[in-house]
A and B are shown apart, each in its own frame.
Chain A
Amino acid sequence: MATTYRTCPASGLQFEAQAEKLMKWNAVAAVLWLLVGGITAIGVIMTRWPAFKLLPPDQFYLILTAHGIDMLLCWIIFFEMAVLYFASSTLLRCRLATPMLGWVQFWLMVVGSIMTNVAIFQGESSVMFTSYVPMQAAPHFYLGLILFAVGALIGCFIFLGTLAVAKKDKTYTGSIPMVTFGALTATIIAIFTILTGAGILVPTFFWSVGLIKEIDPQLYRMVWWGLGHSSQQINVAAHVSIWYLIPAIVIGAKPLSEKVSRGAFLLYILFLQLASAHHLLSDPGMSAEWKVLNTSYFMYFAVMASMIHGFTVPGAVEAAMRRKGFTNGTFEWLRKAPWGNPAFAGMFISLVSFGFLGGISGVVLGTEQINMLMHNTFYVPGHFHTTVVTGTTLAFMAVTYLLVPTLFKREMIHPKLCQIQPYLFGIAMSITGLVMMGAGTLGVSRRHWDMAFQGAPFTYEWPGAAMLMMGMTGFFGVVTIIGGGLWIYLVVGSLLWGKKLDGGQYVDKPTPIPAATPAASASHHGSDHVAVPGTVVLALTLFVAFVLYYYVNWKYLSEVWLLS
């Protein structure tokens, strides 16, 4: 199929025409679902805020279902499709494999996501994101999810096909770039996730239309979490790739060691999906061996991989800044980093919040003994809001500040507001996640409409700290929603009213990467062997925080579980 290519004059990134259209359409669909997810977040947060309790139970569970599906699947997977097209076609400077199938991917996901949302808002499918059987949703709830998943699977195979095209056309030499390798990791995890999802959602769909008599609840839970948690591991691999991409483009950073970083991605490929088991640590049907090996042993390989990325990304920033001459003291590189650049600021806040809050709490949840302290409490959404929201969503928001000018050829409107947005959203969400975890540690339930359990035969007097933290969850949750709404306004406003930028000439053949452009850094190979003492101090700080928090939880366990 004949196609054209354009090279962005500012960034040097090259966009093949079909891939460019697919990136734009998938990104726009993602933002629209983020808008729906953000509106539903208002209903969720204003109901869990004890002072307001906005919605009655039936509406709350409906809205909570929509919020989970639209945020955890629709917004993120649409955006990831755009990332896959970018990481393959753009970074490898080649044509997209089977672009017609790309449109099949897009429309299947559009139809599937709308179908599932229609089922939810009709009111017969308030089964929440987890949709545990024997709760039954309307058949089109499951069918929509299946169509959405098939679309995403097609996107994964187009990514792999595009790698083959690039290899055949020799558009790169040696190994694929690091960012593309991270996207490959996300793709592999996605393939497992989607196949697992099909393994449980297809029979559940047949059950909903009466063709299958029953679905075993324990089997459903186990297989479903292979979909539910692994889908969030796709996000981890995708946002870690973006962590490498943004400093490469903004300051020309290179990984400290490509070998080590790629080795960490390999650990993700082998072990990250096994963390799904931590959702079943209190389930009676699973053996101790299955639980312990999958979480407390294999999961730690994936945790080690995250710690490697958490060290090498700021290390790469430090090395690049030191090369630019910011060598005074331990932290001049950090003080003089481009904090006014919303892409960089968003990336760094995402990294810190994911590491300190999402990462540490994830390890705690993955340890069988201390998991019992907060299993199925408000701690769990606290944990995944610091991984999926401050980790993934903020990283996606950050990279959008780079993509709007180069992909959509529009200048961002309100530069000052753009600078503020990542701080507003990232800090507010981090605080929200922290107090959610605090409330969960005190026993507040994961998603019950009414923490007071009014009308129950036994009453429970919550400590004042639990009420305070639920109030703080409400307040900072609203601030987070404002931060997210601001990002949507800035992005949509820029697409509609932003100053048009020169997109570059269209040619009928791919061109080599122009030297000394951001694209050259993003498509680079090689490592930056510079001493990074500041990053070592940051990493040690993380270790100390981790050890202290781990110790506190074991101490807490010893107090609630009295043995004599």
Chain B
Amino acid sequence: MAENDDDVPFMQKLLDSYYVLTVIGVLSPTILYTLWGIVDIMNTPLAK
């Protein structure tokens, strides 16, 4: 383990930050799949 926090590479810091991972792991599909999907469906024209 690195003695100083500055010695720890960014990627390792990210992989060790499980709350940050949780946030991005929930946000990423929520935006790309769910919210974008809802926008697509809302923009589907109604049949006349």
Contact residues of A with B, CB < 8 Å? 160, 163, 173-176, 181, 184-185, 187-189, 191-192, 195-196, 199, 216, 218-219, 222-223, 226, 230, 259, 262-263, 266, 269-271, 273-274, 276-277, 284-287, 290, 293-294, 298
Min CB–CB distance B28 → chain A (angstroms): 5
Chain B, range 4-39, C-beta contacts under 8 Å to A: 11-12, 14-16, 18-19, 21-22, 24-26, 28-30, 32-34, 36-38
Interface contact B1-A270, CB-CB below 8 Å:
no
Please judge, given known A-B contacts A216-B41, A218-B44, A266-B15, whether A188 and B26 are in contact too, CB under 8 Å: yes
* Closest chain A CB from B8 CB (angstroms): 9
Cβ distance B42 to chain A, nearest Cβ, rounded Å = 9
Number of A-B contacts (CB under 8 A): 89
23 CB contacts below 8 A, A to B, read A175-B12, A176-B18, A185-B25, A188-B26, A192-B29, A196-B30, A199-B34, A218-B44, A219-B41, A222-B37, A226-B29, A266-B14, A266-B15, A269-B21, A269-B28, A270-B24, A270-B25, A270-B28, A276-B29, A277-B33, A285-B40, A286-B40, A290-B36
In the bound complex, CA of A426 to CA of B34 (Å): 35
Q: Flag if B41 contacts A286 (CB, 8 Å).
A: yes
**Whole-angstrom CA separation of A115 from B40 in the bound complex:** 35
Contacts of A273 in B (CB 8 A): 28-29, 33
Do A175 and B40 have beta carbons less than 8 Å apart? no
Distance A478 CA – B32 CA, assembled complex (angstroms): 41
Name the one of A173, A184, A196, A223 contacting B1, with C-beta atoms under 8 angstroms.
A173
Interface size on B, residues (CB 8 A): 25
Contacts of B15 in A (CB 8 A): 175, 181, 262-263, 266
Taking A218-B44, A263-B11 as contacts, is the C-beta distance between A269 and B24 under 8 angstroms? Answer: yes
Q: For B30, what are the chain A residues with a Cβ–Cβ distance below 8 Å?
A: 192, 196
B-chain residues with CB within 8 Å of residue A271 when the two chains form the complex: 28
Shortest A468–chain B CB gap in Å is: 39
| Contact flag A191-B33 (CB < 8 Å), given A174-B1, A219-B41, A286-B41 | no
In the complex, the 8 A-B pairs of residues with the closest C-beta atoms, listed nearest first: A188-B25, A273-B29, A269-B25, A174-B1, A222-B37, A192-B26, A287-B40, A285-B44
Query: How many angstroms between the C-alpha atoms of A223 and B16 in the bound complex?
Result: 30
Measured in the bound complex, the distance between the Cα atoms of B45 and A287 in whole Å is: 12
